[in-house]
Homo-oligomer: A and B are copies of this chain.
């Protein structure tokens, strides 16, 4: 295992930073890549390079943050990496003066690992990155969607390194209906790949995924009901939006990565009775992928203190991205526990 740090880490250091900023706003931010030799659950021993980003003082309590399959190591903007992160809506929630936020790029996300990837593999990759960073114990693992699944695996496999888990919109299993929905998305990608129309297939798969992330309630508020004649075809009011979602995704994501990470959700299964870490499970009533029944089944099995928070949101599975205030309240409560524990 070796640690390769990018030049970007120095950018966060006032003396060498190319950015002008007030020292009071300064945040340590570091990016790097760790080379790991991991025994993958379904694909044998593999040498992998895992990208990470860490924001906040190296000696502060460490919080691992993980999002959906299309999220990255860049969670929130920092002086060093000022572009918006995938969870920018929670930037104020993470006080990176007193906490260190760590995140990885999922193994498989660069499209070079064309093999079945397990959520347990991701948890082991995170453990390897933490070793490389010299982080023995996480004050909290905060995971959303696929990140919640990986957090549950981390708690089950590396529980001695974790003080608290917050699992948002992810459970111990993939729901069979959600799996069917994803399996069809992967078949759409495969149809595109087979026919030299990879971008079209990936775009369509993403559009189908968006439907599963959102809800009928949101679409009813947002889009007209009647289709209109547009040339030789009828066109529905939501098609422009969905097309745009698909196009943006194709620009930043790879078909192989999508297939393998989508598969990884469906391979996910964790024995929650192996989890002995205090756990907060957050579920959304309107979530079409993770029914609240699965959230309740999960907390019944965890062998530690659990809290369940049920939200209502027209954004369904995407509530963790869209319901900033409700999520912030939950995170603040969890992070206050971290800081107390660290104090």
Flag whether A227 is at the interface (Cβ < 8 A): yes
Contacts of A266 in B (CB 8 A): 226-227, 234, 236
Flag whether A50 is at the interface (Cβ < 8 A): no
Partner of A216, one of B182, B200, B288: B288
What mask results when residues 223 to 249 of chain A are scored 1 for a CB within 8 Å of chain B, else 0? 111110100111111110010000000
CB contacts under 8 Å to B, within A272-296, are 288, 291
Contacts of A306 in B (CB 8 A): none
Copies in the complex: 2
20 contacts across the A-B interface (CB closer than 8 A): A116-B232, A116-B233, A176-B223, A176-B236, A176-B237, A177-B211, A177-B219, A177-B238, A179-B237, A181-B211, A183-B238, A183-B239, A184-B207, A187-B207, A191-B195, A191-B204, A194-B195, A220-B291, A226-B266, A233-B263
Question: Which of A215, A225, A266, A288 has the most B CB atoms < 10 Å from its CB?
Answer: A225
Say yes or no: A242 contacts B179, CB within 8 Å: no
Say yes or no: B216 contacts A291, CB within 8 Å: yes
Partner of A176, one of B186, B194, B225: B225
Contacts of A220 in B (CB 8 A): 175-177, 291
Flag whether A173 is at the interface (Cβ < 8 A): yes
What mask results when residues 169 to 201 of chain A are scored 1 for a CB within 8 Å of chain B, else 0? 000011111111111101110011011110011
Flag whether A269 is at the interface (Cβ < 8 A): yes
How many angstroms between the C-alpha atoms of A223 and B266 in the bound complex?
Answer: 13
Q: A219 and B180 in contact (CB under 8 A), knowing A191-B201, A267-B234? A: yes
Contacts of A184 in B (CB 8 A): 204, 207-208, 211, 242
Q: Tell me how far the C-beta of A181 lies from the nearest C-beta in chain B, rounded to whole angstroms.
A: 6
Task: Give the total of A residues in contact with B, Cβ under 8 Å.
Answer: 58
Partner of A175, one of B42, B187, B191, B216: B216
Partner of A204, one of B116, B174, B188, B238: B188
Contacts of A223 in B (CB 8 A): 176, 179-180
Contacts of A174 in B (CB 8 A): 225-227
Say yes or no: A236 contacts B183, CB within 8 Å: yes
CB contacts under 8 Å to B, within A91-147, are 115-116
Q: A180 and B242 in contact (CB under 8 A), knowing A191-B191, A200-B191? A: yes
How many angstroms between the C-alpha atoms of A207 and B42 in the bound complex?
Answer: 28
Partner of A187, one of B182, B204, B291: B204
Contacts of A219 in B (CB 8 A): 175-177, 180
Question: Which of A233, A236, A242, A263 has the most B CB atoms < 10 Å from its CB?
Answer: A236
Say yes or no: B288 contacts A180, CB within 8 Å: no
Partner of A195, one of B180, B196, B208, B232: B196
Sorted nearest first, the 3 A-B pairs with minimum C-beta distance are A195-B195, A177-B216, A177-B219
Q: Tell me how far the C-beta of A178 lies from the nearest C-beta in chain B, rounded to whole angstroms.
A: 8
Given contacts A174-B227, A179-B225, 16 further A-B contacts (CB under 8 A): A42-B229, A116-B234, A175-B220, A176-B219, A176-B225, A176-B238, A177-B211, A177-B215, A179-B236, A180-B211, A180-B236, A184-B242, A186-B233, A188-B204, A194-B197, A234-B266
